[in-house]
Structure 1
Amino acid sequence: MTSRALTKPQTRGLLAKRLRFHIVGAFAVSPGVAAFCKSAVAEPRKKAYADFYRNYDSMKEFEEMKKAGIAQGVK
């Protein structure tokens, strides 16, 4: 029967080593996430707003709300 001694775990400097690894990873991944959010969320939202307001008639909308009784402060 052979018994091998287990190696001691590294405890000194472990936090600094792990933080260094995760900070580098965060800086490497964040531009990709930002680009994805811009292309998947921001640009379609800006396009939807532009499409909506391209043909939006505020006076027509106001008259419809007035007829429906939503705008009660006006006659």
Structure 2
Amino acid sequence: MTSRALMKPQMRGLLAKCLRFHVVGAFVVSLGIAAFYKFAVAEPRKKAYADFYRNYDSMEDSEEMKRAGIFQSAE
């Protein structure tokens, strides 16, 4: 009967090896989430604001709110 010796577990440098893997993974994931947020949320929001204010007339909007009765003291 042959007895096989079990491999010794890696004890020295184990934390550094695991941290290196997890830090790189966390950096890649956070970079991906930041890019997703920029292109899926921030850019469309900036475009929507730009489109709104391109044709926005504050005086016309103010007059419309006066006619609707929103401004009770400005008649």
Runs (5+) with no aligned partner, structure 1: 1-13
RMSD: 2.6
Q: What's the secondary structure of 1:46's corresponding residue?
A: helix
* TM-score w.r.t. length of structure 2: 0.70
Q: Which residue of 2 aligns with 1:61?
A: 61
- 4+ runs deviating over 2 angstroms: 14-24
Q: Normalising by the residue count of structure 1, what TM-score does the alignment of the two structures yield?
A: 0.70
1:69 aligned partner, one-letter code: G
Number of residue pairs aligned between Structure 1 and Structure 2: 70
**Mind listing any 5+ residue stretches in structure 2 that lack a counterpart?**
1-13
Please list the CA deviations of residues 26-72 of structure 1 after superposition, one character each: whole Å capped at 9, or x if unmatched: 11211111111100000000000000000001001000100010011
Amino acid paired to 1:45: R
**Range that drifts further, 26-35 or 37-46:** 26-35
